[in-house]
Chain A
C-alpha cells in the first residue's frame, strides 16, 4: 500500500496515458478498416460547447462592422458607385459575347449527346471557426444539417474551390465541418487547363497544395490554371482550384507540382456550399436551328412591311423578295412584322451572302448587301455561335426563313435556311423574340 501511495501520481499518469493510447489505437483501426469514422459523442459535445460562443463572437463582429460600414464609413461611395456602373457596362458586353459562345457550346454538346454537370443550387454560409490545429485544416460553418447541408458537398468561393463538407450531423444541426483542400487527408480530382493533364490535388503537412500523379515526361508551365476534373464525384468539372507555382521532378515517375489555391484559405469569411448539382443532357430542341435562325434574322435583311393596299393586291401571290416567295409558299408571312424592316429597295433573290458554318455572317465583297435594315446595320457581326450551320452546304441566305419554328430543329437539324425547309414550314409569326436561354445559374437560397 505504501508503494501505491508513494507512486500514486505516476500510476495515475500511466493509467490515463494507457487509456488514451488504447482509445487512439481503436480509432485508427476503425478508420483503416471501415474508411469512415463514426461521430464520437465527445466531438458532439465539444462542438456544441464551442460553436455557440464562436457564433456569438462572429455575430458581434459582423454587426459592429455593418454599423460602421453602413452608417458611418460612407466616404467614397459615390466614386465607387460610378466605377461599379462602368464595370457593369463592361461586363454586360462581355456577358453578351460569352452567352453566344455558350450557346454554341451547348449546340455542340447536344450533337455529342454530352451530359454536363452544373451547380444548380448553393447556400451561403459564414465561417465561424476552425480546428485550431496545424494538422487539421478544417473550418466550421454556421449552417448545418438542418439547413440541408450534407457530407461530401462541395464548398467554394467566388475565387475558387475551398473544400468539402466533412461532417454535418443531426446532433449538431446548425454547424458543419469543412475539410479544406490544403489538408493532408484531402484529395481533389484536378486537371490542368491547357494541357488537360489530370492528377490528384492533395494538401501537405506544411499546408501547401500539390498536384500528384502527373507523369514526369509531361511539360507543365508555371502559372497554368488548375481546374476540377469532376472525377472525384464531389466537385463539378471546371471549377477553378488554383495556379501552378512551381514544377520540380518528384519521386518515382511523377512531377511535383505545387499549386497556389485561388481561394485564400487562410482568410475565409463566407463560402458557398453547393447543395445541388444537376446533370443534364443538352437537348437539341432547346438550342437548335430556331435560335440560330432568330439570331441571324436579327442581323440580316428581313421581310419588308407591306402597305395595306399592296397586300390586298397581292392576294394569292407573295411579294417578290420575301422569303415566302422564294419558297413558293403563298402568303405565309403576315402583313405586319416585328422583325427588321427593309428601308431600301426590295431584296433581290439570292442577293444575300451565304452563311458559312461556324463563322460570322459574311458577305462576299463582290456582292454587297442590297438592303439595309433599319435595326442593325448589315454586316454587323454575328457571333460564331449564332451562325452555326451543321451538315449543310452554304445556302443562299435569301432563302432564310425569319421565323423558323422551334420544333423544326429536329427535322431540319441545325440547317439554316434551306428551300425545302421554307417550303414545308408551317405558318408562324415572322419574328420571334430571342429569349436568352436559361443559364445554369447559381441560385442562392436564403440564409
Chain B
C-alpha cells in the first residue's frame, strides 16, 4: 500500500513485445470510441490515458514514456474534431511524469498504482483544461467532485489494467 522510495539500482525495468506495444494502445483507442455506443456509462473512463500510465511506469524510461503518451494523444486527437495537440500535449506530460515517477517510486503494488492513477488523471485533466481554454478557446467547466469521482473510477480500472499487462511485460 505504501509508496516506497527505491534507488536506481533496485528499480526493475520492463519491456513489452511489439504486438503488445502497438496492439494495446490501438485496442484502447478503439474501445474508447466504440464502447460508449452500447454502454454510455463507460464514457467516464479514459482508456488511452490508463494505457499511457501503465506503459510509462513499467518501462521507467522518460523518453519512451513521453513518446508513447504523445503518440497515443495525437491519435486520440485525430479522432475528434478539435485541433490536434490537446490530448497530445497532456498525454506527453503524463507519460513523462509517470515514467519519471516510476523510477523513484515502487509501483508494483495495487495501492500505489491506485494513487498514481488518480494523480495522473487529475494532472491530465488540468493540462487539458488549461490548453483547451487558454489556447483553443473552448468553453469548459471545471468541477472538482466530477474530476475526483472520475479519477477514482479510472484508478480502479487502471489497477485492473496494470494487473492484466503485468502478465505480458518482459523483464529486461
Contact = CB atoms under 8 A, between A and B. Distances in A.
Mutual binders A and B: yes
Interface of A: 8-9, 12-13, 16-17, 20-21, 23-25, 27-28, 31, 37, 40, 42-43, 45-47, 49-50, 53-54, 57-58, 61, 127-136, 138-140, 166-167, 177, 179, 183-185, 204-206, 266-269
Interface in B14-53: 26, 29-30, 32-34, 36-38, 40, 43, 48
A402 to B, nearest CB: 58
* Residue from A13, A46, A205, A269 with most neighbouring chain B CB atoms (10 Å): A13
B92 A13 contact: yes
25 contacts: A9-B62, A9-B66, A13-B62, A13-B96, A17-B92, A20-B89, A20-B92, A23-B85, A24-B83, A24-B131, A28-B135, A46-B79, A50-B33, A58-B34, A61-B38, A129-B37, A130-B33, A133-B87, A136-B80, A138-B81, A140-B33, A166-B81, A179-B81, A183-B81, A205-B140
Contact of A266 (B32, B33, B40, B82): B40
B164 interface: no
A421 to B, nearest CB: 61
A132 B84 contact: no
B88 A20 contact: yes
A28 B40 CA distance: 30
Given A9-B63, A47-B78, A205-B140, A23 B84 contact: yes
Contacts of A266: 36, 40
Contact of A28 (B38, B79, B137): B137
A54 B92 contact: no
Interface stretch (B5-13, B68-76, B111-119, B151-159): B68-76
Contact of B29 (A17, A25, A50, A267): A50
Contacts of A267: 37, 40
B139 interface: yes
A132 B35 CA distance: 9
A43 B62 contact: no
Contacts of B63: 8-9, 12
A128 B78 contact: no
Given A28-B135, A49-B26, A268 B37 contact: yes
B132 interface: yes
B29 A132 contact: yes
A166 to B, nearest CB: 6
A184 B92 contact: no
Nearest to B135: A24
B92 A16 contact: yes
Contacts of B96: 9, 13
* Residue from A50, A54, A267 with most neighbouring chain B CB atoms (10 Å): A50
A53 B37 contact: no
A50 B79 contact: yes
Given A12-B63, A129-B33, A132-B32, A31 B26 contact: no
A135 B84 contact: no
Given A20-B70, A24-B131, A128-B34, A133 B85 contact: no
A269 B34 CA distance: 11
